[in-house]
Homo-oligomer: A and B are copies of this chain.
Amino acid sequence: MLENKFPGKDITIDDIKTKFPLVAKNNPNHFSKFKVNGVEFGGKKIPIFAGPNMVESKELILDCAKNIKKIGGHFLRGGAFKPLTFPYRSKKYTETREEGIKWLKNAKLKTDLPVVTEIMEERYLELICKTADILQIGSRNMQNYPLITACAKTKKPILLKRHYGASLRDWLGAAEYILCEGNNKVILCERGVSVPHTHRNTSRFLLDLQVVPAAKEITHLPIAVDPSHATFWRPWVEPMTLAAIASGADAIMLEVHPDPENSAVDPLQPINFKAFKNLMNKMDKVAKILGRTVK
């Protein structure tokens, strides 16, 4: 019967073999680990991405880089191209764009901390590739196949954020678009999904940690978790970060800001350097129980 060909919402073993052969676990070209600037993904070590939501200024991003490096973070994160849900900018919130990328480069050069930053348009690919060690595909662009294909072709490692409405099947399909260009360096990143109930009127997403063991069951790709964006609420970041490590996450992305309440964007979610340092210690302890390490 015709309809039996449509197995429904959830990924199946048959799907994986025929439609997602390269992301599939145990495929002939299966790899288990890869390195970015000497930091291994998919191995014993759990790399930590930390930094502000937005590259607000040259000073701020340098300050972040120095402190994150000192505390032991492995990658500096920060966005320069970050449009809002509506097209207008506020007095406080302005994308820093090309200039932001320069400031990020300066911070990288001064601290030797590798950088991950979001790419929103192919026209900025060359510019961003000169600074970024990992290209971040934001959740809104998870299925923007022309953009992810262009990124894949640069052979730069790619951090592929999950769309807030995407199934695991949709997400792995997008990853397959990258791998089929010959680029195997893909890190999946869970950042919260839309659900009927989110517990606070400030929150919009639920961190889906069940997707961590679910993904690891069928794909060899490492999976990162971003608890800051998902919870949108500072007090929940620590418990959900530790839970992410315990669930088996291969990397963690955190918003860290010197003065969280005055962050130019989403001030309810970043943690400060002191909280980050404290959290690094706790993450490392949880990781060790699983035979892994953060530091």
Q: Quick one: CB contact mask for A134-170 with B, threshold 8 Å, 1 for yes?
A: 0000001101111100000000000000011111111
Among the listed B83, B201, B248, which residue makes an inter-chain contact with A145, where contact means beta carbons less than 8 Å apart? B83
Among the listed B8, B19, B236, B245, which residue makes an inter-chain contact with A213, where contact means beta carbons less than 8 Å apart? B236
- In chain A, positions 1-32 with a C-beta closer than 8 Å to chain B are 2-3, 6-12, 19-20
* Integer count of this chain's copies in the complex: 4
Measured CA separation A246–B237 after assembly (Å):
12
- In chain A, positions 197-221 with a C-beta closer than 8 Å to chain B are 197-204, 206-215, 217
A37 contacts B by Cβ under 8 Å: no
A199 touches B180 (CB 8 A): no
Q: Which residues of A contact B (CB under 8 A)?
A: 2-3, 6-12, 19-20, 83-88, 120-121, 123, 140-141, 143-147, 163-170, 173, 176-177, 180, 193-204, 206-215, 217, 230-232, 235-236, 239-240, 242-248, 261, 267-268, 282, 285-286, 289-290
Among the listed B147, B170, B176, B202, which residue makes an inter-chain contact with A8, where contact means beta carbons less than 8 Å apart? B202
A202 touches B87 (CB 8 A): no
B197 touches A197 (CB 8 A): no
